[in-house]
Amino acid sequence: MDLYKKNQLKIYNSLAKEKQVFNPINEGSVGMYVCGPTVYNNVHLGNVRTFMSFDLVFRYFRHLGYKVRYVRNITDAGHLENDADVGEDRIAKKARIEQIEPMEVVQRYTVDFHNTMQKFNNLPPSIEPTATGHILEQIEIVKDILKKGMAYETNGSVYFDVLKYNESEQYGALSGRNIEDSVHNTRALEGQSEKKNPQDFALWKKASPEHIMRWPSPWSDGFPGWHLECTAMSTKYLGEKFDIHGGGMDLKFPHHECEIAQANCSNGVAPVNYWMHANMLTLNGQKMAKSTGNNILPNEIFSGNNDKLDKAFSPSVTRFFMLQAHYRSNLDFSSEAMEASEKGFQKLMQGIRLLDDLPVATKSSLEISNWVENCYKAMNDDFNSPILIAHLFEGVKYVNLLCDGKESLQAGDVSLLQDTLKNFVYDVLGLVDDVSQVNSDKLNGVVALLIRLRKEARENKNWALSDQIRDELLVLGVQLKDGKEGTTFSIN
């Protein structure tokens, strides 16, 4: 039987502001859309946490046996500097500063994004569409909203009429803003004067002469508003109504509020059944920001090359650290907190390494099926990974007691304990035993050093020392082989 049939999953719906039982539109299937990155700079750690939160959701649905279509877009046009409808396109600006093509910016940072996701073992989505690949679909939605009288054209740009929409629908319901607060830009900036009301947002913007990223449309040569791509791509790949829409907390307003308005108007239905928002990551208690220097890049964690870190940490330790907090809680990153997580991660992995050698007894002294149920209960309660991890440590305690002969399990319970720990640690949490990888890298480095010292000893005709290094390494299970190309080694 598929696991989803016996697991009632509850999800905190940010729109309803409560936990709700998850009922998919199509039995056994899940359609999920998550707002992806704007590819104009290196992905930062806060984004990594957001995408990891939805990777956990994706992995758990798959584990439960659902067929999941997970769509996560790449924003490669239309996202202006200040999140409102003014300023330079983020990608075009970077291209101008670095004197390269906008599509080179897109390529460079898309590759960086994919590499970073892979390092953290975030699974790729089922479809990863781009904004520039869906300009035609976006133009069709603008036409549709204009036809329905919910948008207006000014000087070649098209704006969504928020006040008019709000007469029949509730704009601001997701972010909890009333219509007076929903002003997209309070400052009198260029472009604002074209709007009837400051709450209105752009569906299409006419490109200024220096704006390079532009497409023809019935209104002007221009580009789509930032919010429109997600409506176009989620509708195209998941339908007018789909199960889950996710993103970072900071996207609730204006981005998701605008998506809801656009889809409601164009498709005539509320687009999403469950809205999910992942919380922020702070660094040493402060918001992360490049401008203040309170910032760490993913690669700096792996190399330890940042003055905010006392040492390097592996991707899985970082992943474990992040998953030790619930996705809706704020999480503070610090070197001390990471060191504590590293100890916990090693303890967990030590337990996992013992799993294949567990003794089998004729009867069980532990209640394994209750423990398994508790693991599922934690994840069924809005993907509560910290509670799950606490139960996994309980499982590791069982493993140690069994190895010490203090408790016993019969064969069926041994398999259940093994499978459950492995499934949750590897498949659901997506952890990899990479600390032992780091250790083996270090071991390789140490052996290479000894080979160099032995070579020096031989050059100085110190045969006694040279032999001693070779022989003592052999006792430790490291065999040196001298060849034409130099000395190589194998570890048994």
User: Could you list the residues that contact Zn ion (CB under 5 A)?
Assistant: 35, 230
> Pairing mode, if any, of strands 18-21 and 29-34?
unpaired
- By C-beta, is 89 or 194 nearer to Zn ion? 89
Q: Is 163:197 a contact under the CB 8 Å cutoff?
A: yes
Cβ at position 249, least distance to Zn ion in Å: 13
Return the number of the residue (75 or 182) whose C-beta is nearest Zn ion.
75
**Parallel, antiparallel, or unpaired: how do β-strands 222-224 and 201-206 relate?**
antiparallel
Report the residue number, 131 or 139, with the smaller CB distance to Zn ion.
131
Q: Give the nearest distance from C-beta 73 to Zn ion in angstroms.
A: 7
Report yes or no: 427 and 61 within 8 Å, Cβ to Cβ: no
Distance of closest approach, residue 82 Cβ to Zn ion, in angstroms? 17
What's the rounded Cα separation, in Å, for the pair 227 and 202? 8
Q: Copy the structure tokens of residue 467.
A: 């032999």
**Is it true that the peptide bond before 298 is cis, omega within 30 degrees of 0?**
no
Give the β-pairing of 157-160 and 331-333: unpaired
Q: Rounded to the nearest whole angstrom, what is the least distance from the CB of residue 340 to Zn ion in the complex?
A: 35
**Rounded to an integer, what distance in angstroms lies between the CA atom of residue 400 and that of residue 393?**
11
Supply the minimum distance, in Å, between the C-beta of residue 257 and Zn ion: 11
- Sequence-separated (6 or more) residues with CB below 8 Å from residue 259: 227, 230, 231, 234, 245, 271
Contacts of residue 340, defined as CB under 8 A and 6 or more positions apart, other chains included, come to none
Q: Please, which residues have CB within 8 angstroms of residue 213's CB and are 6 or more apart in sequence? A: 77, 89, 91, 92, 102, 132, 207, 223
Helix extents (H) in 296-366? 298-303, 315-323, 335-354
Measured from the CB atom, is 35 or 414 closer to Zn ion? Answer: 35
Which lies closer to Zn ion via its Cβ, residue 52 or residue 409?
52
- What are the C-alpha distances in Å from 401 to residues 172, 215, 256, 345, 346? 54, 66, 50, 19, 18
**Residue 63 beta carbon to Zn ion: minimum distance, rounded to whole angstroms:** 26
Q: Which C-beta is closer to Zn ion: that of 43 or that of 230? A: 230
Q: How far is the CB of 431 from Zn ion (least distance, A)?
A: 29
The answer to whether 337 and 353 are in contact (CB under 8 A) is no
Q: Which is nearer to Zn ion, 207 or 228 (CB)?
A: 228
Taking the complex as a whole, how short is the minimal distance between the CB of residue 255 and Zn ion, in angstroms?
5
The nearer residue to Zn ion, 36 or 395, going by C-beta atoms, is 36
